[in-house]
């Protein structure tokens, strides 16, 4: 299943999500052409039950799609929409047409509902917002939007009347954990992309008559990058290891903590190997390392999820770290 998904999604993104397309959308050009190609592929409804017209797959099944979103720096909320549509359909609500992002909100002193930094909010048609103890689906077109942090993210606000009129998505939904699972997978993909590009650069770049990858100092940096990238990928896969559509919170905590840790190290080492060229607008590396830093903070950084794991350890009847690790990493085949 992994190979089937990976090959199909990789081919799709290779053709339609090039670095030039990513740059264009980041610069404010329309996402319509790319989104139409992604929507037409059918993967967007992979988690929607078959009875509602989807594929009825599990989170573990769609992991390759989410990882490749990071590998190709996809500049539209494809992974977010995939997860949100599955959640909405399982709640018995009609799945909306268009892209969906997730976020949390609060009512401000001005009486408006404010969405905290909504990841990829500037590229969304709908926002599945958690506020006041419930989730509702709000149209992005009705929001006041300001760029916040990363260029595709947004600070969004709606009048109270928009919240009152919005479609309720019944049930108790842990959107933050679901988002953390998504960003762990996307971080894993971006980490592998940064490592492979840095390795290629080290083999191509000549200094003193030989590739810089032949120097011991560079080899050491590449080996550390490899350790972080592959460990993070394994953690992200475990984070989505479930037969259903709801991730295990502690596994997600482990996955997001490990991938966020790796993001800092790999971004720093990759730019060290590349030197000043890695920071330039024209060079592709910065498309990925900027996402490493943005996604590291999204849905909780490593310190937040370390606290979650630490509290779970303290709350267990016999608080042994090894037992918790075994519980989180054991996979039944």
pLDDT digits (tens, 9 = 90+) for 204-226: 988 888 988 889 999 999 999 99
Residues 155, 217 within the same domain: no
Residues 149, 189 within the same domain: no
* In the chain, % of residues over pLDDT 90: 71
Q: Tell me which residue has tokens 């190979």.
A: 3
Indicate the pLDDT class of residue 172, thresholds 50, 70 and 90: confident
More confident residue, 187 or 53: 187
Indicate the burial class of 85 (C-beta count within 10 angstroms; 0-12, 13-18, 19 or more).
Answer: buried
Residues 192, 69 within the same domain: no
Taken in order 243, 244, 249, 252, the sign of the CA dihedral is: positive
Residue range of the domain that includes 97: 2-169
The set of residues, in sequence order, having a beta carbon less than 8 Å from that of 204 and lying 6+ positions away, is 211
Residue 171 pLDDT: 86
Residue 333 pLDDT: 43
Q: Is the pLDDT of residue 282 over 80?
A: yes
Domain count, the chain: 2
Residues 62, 183 within the same domain: no
Indicate the pLDDT class of residue 129, thresholds 50, 70 and 90: very high
More confident residue, 42 or 256: 256
Residues 184, 104 within the same domain: no
Residues 164, 284 within the same domain: no
Taken in order 243, 244, 250, 252, the sign of the CA dihedral is: positive
Residue 1 pLDDT: 44
DSSP string for residues in 160-174: HHHHHHSEEE-S---
Indicate the pLDDT class of residue 321, thresholds 50, 70 and 90: low
Q: Using the 3D structure, point to which of 148, 169, 190 is the last residue of a domain.
A: 169
Which residues sit opposite 207 in a β-bridge?
210
pLDDT digits (tens, 9 = 90+) for 93-108: 999 999 999 999 888 8
Residue 268 pLDDT: 96
Closest CA to 128 of 149, 151, 98, 107: 98
Q: Is the pLDDT of residue 318 over 70?
A: no
Residue 6 pLDDT: 85
Q: Is the pLDDT of residue 144 over 60?
A: yes
Task: Report which DSSP code applies to 277.
Answer: G
pLDDT digits (tens, 9 = 90+) for 27-41: 999 999 999 999 999
Residues 156, 7 within the same domain: yes
Mean model confidence pLDDT for the chain: 91
Supply the pTM of this predicted model.
Answer: 0.93
* In the chain, % of residues over pLDDT 70: 95
Residues 203, 325 within the same domain: yes
Q: Tell me which residue has tokens 């080899």.
A: 219
Let me know: does 134 contact 128? Beta carbons within 8 Å: no
Mean per-residue pLDDT for 156-183?
Answer: 93
Q: How many residues does the chain have?
A: 333
Backbone φ and ψ for 53, nearest 5 degrees, come out as: 95, 10
Residues 156, 139 within the same domain: yes
Domain of 302, CATH number, reads 1.20.140.10
DSSP string for residues in 286-332: HHHHHHHHHHHHTT--HHHHHHHHHHHHHHSSS--HHHHHHHHH---
Q: Tell me which residue has tokens 């993967």.
A: 43
Indicate the pLDDT class of residue 331, thresholds 50, 70 and 90: low
Let me know: does 50 contact 34? Beta carbons within 8 Å: no
Indicate the pLDDT class of residue 203, thresholds 50, 70 and 90: very high
Residues 59, 73 within the same domain: yes
Q: Using the 3D structure, point to which of 169, 204, 224 is the last residue of a domain.
A: 169
């Amino acid at each position: 299943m992994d190979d089937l998904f990976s090959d199909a999604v990789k081919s799709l993104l290779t053709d339609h999500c090039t670095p030039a397309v990513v740059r264009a959308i980041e610069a404010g050009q329309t996402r319509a052409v790319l989104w139409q190609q992604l929507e037409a592929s059918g993967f967007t409804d992979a988690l929607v039950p078959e009875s509602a017209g989807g594929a009825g797959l599990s989170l573990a099944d769609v992991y390759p799609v989410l990882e490749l979103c990071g590998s190709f720096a996809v500049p539209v909320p494809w992974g977010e929409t995939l997860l949100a549509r599955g959640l909405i359909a399982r709640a018995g609500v009609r799945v909306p047409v268009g892209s969906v992002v997730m976020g949390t909100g609060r009512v401000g002193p001005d009486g408006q509902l404010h969405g905290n930094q909504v990841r990829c909010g500037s590229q969304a048609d709908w926002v599945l917002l958690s506020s006041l103890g419930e989730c509702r689906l709000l149209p992005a077109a009705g929001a006041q939007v300001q760029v916040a942090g990363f260029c595709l993210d947004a600070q969004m606000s709606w009048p109270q009347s928009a919240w009152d009129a919005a479609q309720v998505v019944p049930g108790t939904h842990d959107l933050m954990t679901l988002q953390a699972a998504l960003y762990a997978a996307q971080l894993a993909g971006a980490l592998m992309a940064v490592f492979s590009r840095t390795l290629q650069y080290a083999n191509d770049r000549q200094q003193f008559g030989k590739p810089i990858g032949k120097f011991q100092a560079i080899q050491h940096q590449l080996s550390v990058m490899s350790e972080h990238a592959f460990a993070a990928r394994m953690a992200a896969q475990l984070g989505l290891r479930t037969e259903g559509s709801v991730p295990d919170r502690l596994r997600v905590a482990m996955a997001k903590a490990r991938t966020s840790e790796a993001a800092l190290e790999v971004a720093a080492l990759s730019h060290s190997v590349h030197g000043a060229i890695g920071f330039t607008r024209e060079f592709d590396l910065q498309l990925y390392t900027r996402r490493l830093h943005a996604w590291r903070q999204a849905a909780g950084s490593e310190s937040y999820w370390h606290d979650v794991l630490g509290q779970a350890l303290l709350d267990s009847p016999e608080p042994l770290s090894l037992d918790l690790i075994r519980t989180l990493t054991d996979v039944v085949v």
